[in-house]
Amino acid sequence: MPFINIKMTHEDGGATKEQKEKLAKGITELFSDIFGRGASSAVVLIEEVSTDNYAIGGKTITNIREEQNSN
C-alpha cells in the first residue's frame, strides 16, 4: 500500500476541500501510472504547514514575506 505524504504551506486560507480532493486524485493517478500499482489502496496525507512554522535561513516564511512586501 503506497503512503504518499504531501506538505505545503497554509496560505490565503489554505487549500479548499475540492483542491485537496483533486490533488489526492491526481497524485494517486500519477503514482499508479508510473508504478503500475496502488490506485485502489494509496493513502494520501496532505499537511498544510503554517508559514510561522516553516523557516529558511533562520527566518520564518511569514517574516521573509513581510520583508519582501515592505521593499
Of the candidates 2, 4, 9, 65, the residue annotated as catalytic is 2
Q: How far apart are CA 62 and CA 40, in angstroms?
A: 38
Grid coordinates of 50: 503554517
- 2 is a catalytic site residue: yes
**For residues 45 and 6, is the Cβ–Cβ distance under 8 A?**
yes
Q: How far apart are CA 50 and CA 48, in angstroms?
A: 7
Grid coordinates of 2: 503506497
Q: Which positions are annotated as active-site residues?
A: 2
